[in-house]
A and B are shown apart, each in its own frame.
Chain A
């Protein structure tokens, strides 16, 4: 009578099998590896680079354990840390002959040591959080008011130019917090100015104020352009951070937006916070200067005789360029840089947009220097690099500049990115920092594992003594709960933290509740004189409602933590919620199917092994 249909047994078996397969990678541990990825948008590290990596390793007499081509680069798995370092040195030397100008990132990494067929199935070990593997975590706050003020300042400058160009006399333009005040002496000028501004600067919202000869227009940014400004600021800052962090040679950095104005940066394995912070907080500046093209000057400079008032730089890609020290324009005048195409010959190009002051200077400079070259320099930490040095073909007015010629699409993209990275759109501030040493992480894993193990053993011993065969069934159910939970965490690649491990332990401790409920209920039914088969059925059925109720209240708490939690609490909540779900399945379905397997077929079952069932009547003298 207590029999499951075949499909239920199959479901349980399949669930356990899947659970086992996806838990498996966690037992193989991790092997040292070296990862080669690109430091340039223009360079792709793909299957084409594979032969080169193989050749380099062969030459260095390093036998790799496996080479994998992945979307983010090539990973070489190695036997031990000694060969790992050897391989890294060899690869570093071959890929980056000039360390100051690195095209590739060669970083130490860890790879799962599980066999290939597991990895091919997408079965990976659990993704460990920073507190378990060691590394640095930063939370950066983007200064949005700062970005907004910067934008308003540049709009203010635009307004002055605009009104002057249209011959409209104003009585002063000032920024007052998040507004721009434009003063006028008479109403007619104000009306004309309003039409002009509405047409040219559509991102502004204008309100008229004042009376008599003290009239003014109050300009504020429209909500939609404010949203755009914020999005742009975050996006640009993330881009810039990406570029900078690549330099650190971190294998798997995480750079992500959090909330409206925050960026999370996680650098696993990095211990040198000072350097990391230095690179994160670095301000790069963009400068436009003229190239010194006096015949012979470049040759002289290369020989060591740099002419007075000039500096020698390398252009991205190699060729040296002699650049004048005098700065024509700085990056602040640049409002945007986008990759696109030349409208006439459809060649890839980079479009720059300058603000009005920048546009005026640019027009003057280009008018005087047609046919000459200008250099756009990116200066970071006092080290400059010429991003591009185009020839001026004609006078350029209006602030829209196009750089084109001999560029591929991805080169154009790369250049645009670099130009935008020239200055962070908005200043950032570190508002949270965590550094975790690797030894602490390893210790935490061990402690978490020990607590779970000993807790589990103690519960198992108690359950088996107290409930005997039913206790054994409960322990198997609890073990499969652990198996399914770990498999689910591995499958989802949810980040496992120390509070997460605590949640695994706690979930196991709580999950046994369901089995205790069932076993107690079965005992009670037996005590009331029910035959064993009926008692099993009734016990499971009656306990189910209670199990559901109690798990739902726990789940409510878990969800609240998931919604409002951050950092360690979130790690706890994810595991806790998943654990509640797997525990319902294992406590009810898996344990029932085991009980059915053991007892279900015996038609004349007279006794079940659930420990002693004490009956009050037997004791009392009636």
Chain B
């Protein structure tokens, strides 16, 4: 069986502008939704209390809300979690004007909620309580940003060392815009952005850079081996000859992610969701966005074939790019 029977190189580069405009529009939409709707951050980042309970039968959310309202809570969210029997209750941190005993108070919310439920909507079994104080949330957000920075810088340095600065710049641009698009989806649908989603986003960033690496590897090889092709042709050839591998690999990874989406339950739901979006846009951007960017940044054969030095002043003579 051979899925891809491609006779000639597909002229991807002819449509380079179209691909880039599509991705620019998606990108701008993502930024727009991020700016207007914002991310629905999980308790881990905002601080607050999260209580998950399970009922024997289908849970009556109205009753749960009434019970909490009676217990004196106002700003809470009650929703089903995974099944109709599981209920998730989210409560924000009490601000300083709230109770005097705010510190101990917030940490004890879990028990108070259980007591309130026991009185009004009995039969609840405690599954999980998470309480995160304000200082922890802030730190997590900061650390997340630091991790993202480190990934970007690390990958850029590595690609610049292995290939050339043009490749590293275009790979990072292409893949960063993936990150923004994933976030855009989370903002648009108001899916919960938690720590594990952040992990998924960063993992996908490292993963879809792979794609660019594979294509760039081919570009370099083709430049060295085949003469008489201009730059767009070389890129077309590189993409065409790797496309089968691209689709199969991403397909396999997606099978795994799909399996997590189907069997992983609610906890892994958004994690695999982020991965799915990341994988789909990762293929698109690292192949069809990164390659035109490389072209426009002016990649050419001279940068890879050694002897005629100093033709292009932009090229450094380090042996690393060979």
Contacts and interface: CB of A to CB of B under 8 A. Distances in A.
A563 to B, nearest CB: 7
A210 interface: no
Given A508-B256, A546-B214, A563 B150 contact: yes
B7 A557 contact: no
Interface in B103-130: 103-104, 107-108, 110-111, 125-130
A550 B129 contact: no
A573 B144 CA distance: 13
B147 A273 contact: no
A549 B213 contact: yes
A506 B275 contact: yes
B196 A554 contact: no
A interface SS class? helix
B267 interface: yes
Nearest to A620: B7
B200 to A, nearest CB: 8
A458 B196 contact: no
A12 interface: no
A305 to B, nearest CB: 41
A520 interface: yes
B248 interface: yes
B134 to A, nearest CB: 8
Contact of A572 (B196, B214, B265): B196
Given A454-B262, A502-B196, A616-B7, A513 B158 contact: no
B67 interface: no
Contacts of A503: 203
B132 interface: yes
Interface residues of A, number: 81
A440 interface: yes
A452 to B, nearest CB: 8
B151 interface: yes
Contacts of B52: 440
B320 interface: no
Given A429-B103, A440-B127, A524-B241, A553 B252 contact: no
Contacts of B131: 430, 432-434
Interface in B262-276: 262-265, 267-268, 271-272, 275
A554 B203 CA distance: 7
B1 A565 contact: no
Interface stretch (A67-75, A110-118, A285-293, A443-451): A443-451
Interface in B172-213: 195-196, 198-199, 202-203, 205-207, 209-210, 213
Contacts of B110: 273, 433, 435
A340 interface: no
Interface string A416-450: 00000000000001111111110110011001101
Contacts of A444: 265, 267
A568 interface: yes
A430 B133 contact: yes
B111 A274 contact: yes
B99 interface: no
Contact of A564 (B146, B213, B251): B146
Interface stretch (A120-128, A369-377, A607-615): A607-615
A281 interface: yes
Interface of B: 1-3, 5-7, 44, 52, 54, 103-104, 107-108, 110-111, 125-133, 135-136, 140, 143-144, 146-148, 150-151, 154-155, 158-159, 162, 195-196, 198-199, 202-203, 205-207, 209-210, 213-214, 217, 241-242, 244-245, 248-249, 251-260, 262-265, 267-268, 271-272, 275
Interface of A: 139, 141, 271, 273-274, 277, 281, 429-437, 439-440, 443-444, 447-448, 450-452, 454-456, 458-459, 462-463, 465-466, 498-499, 502-503, 505-506, 508-510, 512-513, 516-517, 520, 523-524, 545-546, 549-550, 552-561, 563-569, 572-573, 576, 611-614, 616, 619-620
Closest CB pairs A-B (n = 8): A557-B206, A509-B256, A431-B133, A455-B259, A550-B210, A455-B256, A564-B147, A509-B253
7 contacts: A273-B111, A432-B131, A450-B259, A505-B256, A549-B213, A557-B202, A565-B143
Given A274-B111, A459-B256, 8 more contacts: A271-B126, A277-B108, A430-B133, A431-B132, A432-B136, A517-B249, A553-B209, A565-B195
